[in-house]
Amino acid sequence: MNDRLSNATLSRVAVAKPGYDRAVLRPRIVHLGLGAFFRAHGAVYTEDAGGDWGIVGVSLQRPDQRDRLASQDGLYTVMERDGSGTRARVIGSVLSVLVAPEDPGAVIAAMAAASVVSLTVTEKGYCHNPATGRLDPAHPDIVHDLAHPDAPRSAVGFIVAGLAVRRTAGLKPFAVVTCDNLPANGRLLAGLVRDFAALRDTALADWIAMNVAFPATMVDRIVPEMTPADVKDARAAIGLTDAAPVSHEPFRQWVIEDRFEGAERPAWEKAGAQIVADVAPFEHMKLRLLNGAHSALAYLGYLAGCETIFDAVSDPVLNGFVRRLWDEILPMVPSPPDTDLRRYIEDLLMRFANPTVRHRTWQIAMDGSQKLPQRLLGTIRERLAAGLPIPSLALSVAAWIRYVGGVDEKGQPIDVRDPLAVRLRALAGGDDAVTRVLAVTEIFGTDLPADPAFVGPVTEAYRRLRQYGAQVVAQ
């Protein structure tokens, strides 16, 4: 008997599952970057919002996600985990998956018919300079996409191609909903799309500037990458084989700027999304307090031998460190409406200490060059401007420099994943590692490397890290 999760076997699923007829769903959302995060977050909100909003997922690079989901008709299990157990549920909002490099034209055609194009392509997928927020015209994908506008590779290239088709056809544009952890992400993406379009056709760039909505959003849910144990657990929970389950924590939050300029969207608020006039305070809180602490714990924790964030916050020394770090960040974060930031931090610590969500420090440590500016450096700049000390923030940056050097405290190689990995490794190898790494302007700008109140504490923290190790220095 066929025991693979699919439309045909859905009636045998033993847990919560789509309570509606999937045939009513229309491909009205195209989502670029169909990873675990979106499947545990945006796709669940869309499922819960109801209506006829189906999702065409797009993998911009590899076919594996499509290969797993296609034979399951896009169905997959989400497993909410905490100390009290696992609650599984099957999600039906993803209709199909396209693999962009196989058929870029199919992706553009799907965009030409969609109301919303959303994206989770990670920080580096924006092909921008993280310090300035401007498009990097020398990025290989951007160079490629300008030469081949109808067969792009980058998210920005696809968005502009999709919008160009809409404009030529005399249709209204789709709304572009970015769901990545970047500061002022809607405005940032609008600027990148405008810069790219202007390099193609200024009339198209003007039309985009006049007509397209790029609402900002803040997204939050801790979703580690899939493990073989997840596949076993999903089978036990639903009674069928699912090759693409996702594990996640119970918490979820989605704050969306109320700026769709007349474009249609799902009633995400019915699923608990907050539709607000200004996302900035929510984004500041989340990027600086959650993601800032995540990155700091990832580098320091990895060096101290912690495999997961749970291991890191279970270590009394690192637990104390992250509390001191939050004390430095907190005064630089204005409270969003109806939010008690002290309470937020206590909740964060409980989320990090969820023993059933195994979020690896190595996974979070990826792409630090793209993450540091919005997670740590903004806070550092504001504290320095106010004449305040930065001991824990400086130690976090020093731990990152030690990490990208590529050798751990036992002399073992570190598998550093970062678009700048090769360059950073060469810079972080020598005696003057700190000076050389801080001179990378795409990350640190020109102000921080020239500020002794920044360079001094980072240099000292780095020296101590090398001499005594992360466990001692984090005390």
Q: Which residue's CB is nearer to ligand CS2, number 56 or number 348?
A: 348
Scanning 52-60, 201-209, 218-226, 265-273 for contacts with ligand CS2 by CB under 6 A, the matching segment is 218-226
State the residue number with the nearest CB to ligand CS2: 294
| Pairing status of strand 53-59 against strand 246-248 | unpaired
248 binds ligand CS2 (CB under 6 A): no
30 binds ligand CS2 (CB under 6 A): no
Q: Which residue's CB is nearer to ligand CS2, number 72 or number 181?
A: 181
User: CB 99 → ligand CS2: shortest distance, Å?
Assistant: 23
User: CB 343 → ligand CS2: shortest distance, Å?
Assistant: 18
Q: How far is CA 16 from the centre of its chain?
A: 27
Distance CA 302, CA 318 (A): 11
SS3 state at 219: strand
Question: Which residue from 364, 377, 420, 434 is in contact with ligand CS2, where contact means CB under 6 A?
Answer: 364
Q: Which residue's CB is nearer to ligand CS2, number 196 or number 310?
A: 310
Distance CA 93, CA 73 (A): 10
Question: Which residue from 66, 167, 221, 265 is in contact with ligand CS2, where contact means CB under 6 A?
Answer: 221
257 binds ligand CS2 (CB under 6 A): no
The closest of 316, 338, 340, 342 to 327, measured between CA atoms, is: 342
Dihedral angle computed from the Cα positions of residues 47, 31, 166 and 271, in that order, rounded to the nearest 10 degrees: 30
Distance CA 123, CA 250 (A): 24
Sketch the per residue contact string, 334 through 363, with ligand CS2: x for CB under 6 A, - otherwise: -----------------------------x
Chain length of the chain? 475
Question: Which residue from 93, 181, 354, 374 is in contact with ligand CS2, where contact means CB under 6 A?
Answer: 181
Tokens 């302007």, residue?
441
Near ligand CS2 in 441-470, by CB under 6 A: none
Assigned token pair, 74: 């896009």
CB contact at 8 A, 51 and 22: no
222 binds ligand CS2 (CB under 6 A): yes
| Pairing status of strand 253-257 against strand 217-220 | antiparallel
60 binds ligand CS2 (CB under 6 A): no
Question: Which residues, in sequence order, are CB contacts of 340 under 8 Å at separation 6+?
Answer: none
Q: Which residue's CB is nearer to ligand CS2, number 79 or number 205?
A: 79
- CB hemisphere CA count around 4 (13 angstroms): 11
Element (H, E) at 254: strand 253-257
179 binds ligand CS2 (CB under 6 A): no
Q: Which residue's CB is nearer to ligand CS2, number 222 or number 240?
A: 222
Assigned token pair, 287: 């990027």
User: CB 225 → ligand CS2: shortest distance, Å?
Assistant: 9
Sketch the per residue contact string, 285 through 304, with ligand CS2: x for CB under 6 A, - otherwise: -----xx--x----------
For the chain, how are helix, strand and coil distributed in percent, rounded to 5?
A: 50, 15, 35
CB contact at 8 A, 325 and 376: no
Write the single-letter amino acid at 397: V
Write the single-letter amino acid at 74: G
Question: Which residue from 220, 230, 233, 257 is in contact with ligand CS2, where contact means CB under 6 A?
Answer: 220
User: CB 301 → ligand CS2: shortest distance, Å?
Assistant: 12
329 binds ligand CS2 (CB under 6 A): no
Scanning 190-198, 219-227, 434-442, 450-458 for contacts with ligand CS2 by CB under 6 A, the matching segment is 219-227
Query: Which residues sit at the interface with ligand CS2, rule CB under 6 A?
Result: 181, 220-222, 290-291, 294, 363-364
